Amino acid sequence: MSEKTQAAVPAESGAFKPKKSVALSGVTAGNTALCTVGKTGNDLHYRGY
């Protein structure tokens, strides 16, 4: 049995399509500042301006 197996190759190999941004993804809505991350490092407290 000498069957060759071939990997599936997309029709347009090498063609990269970037993911489109969704809603307000990446848009700055306001300025904030990090205050603390908690004593154990599991909390996130921040303040807004």
User: Which residue from 32, 36, 35 is spatially nearest to 49, judged by alpha carbons?
Assistant: 32
Q: Would you state the pLDDT for residue 22?
A: 74
Two tokens, residue 46: 């921040």
Q: Would you state the pLDDT for residue 30?
A: 75
User: Which residue from 35, 37, 38 is spatially nearest to 46, judged by alpha carbons?
Assistant: 35
**For 1-49, how does the pLDDT look when each residue is reduced to its tens digit (9 = 90+)?**
555 555 555 555 667 777 676 777 777 777 777 678 888 878 877 776 5
Q: Would you state the pLDDT for residue 2?
A: 54
> Does the pTM exceed 0.75?
no
Q: Would you state the pLDDT for residue 7?
A: 53
Q: Would you state the pLDDT for residue 13?
A: 60
Phi, psi of 34 (to 5 degrees): -75, 130
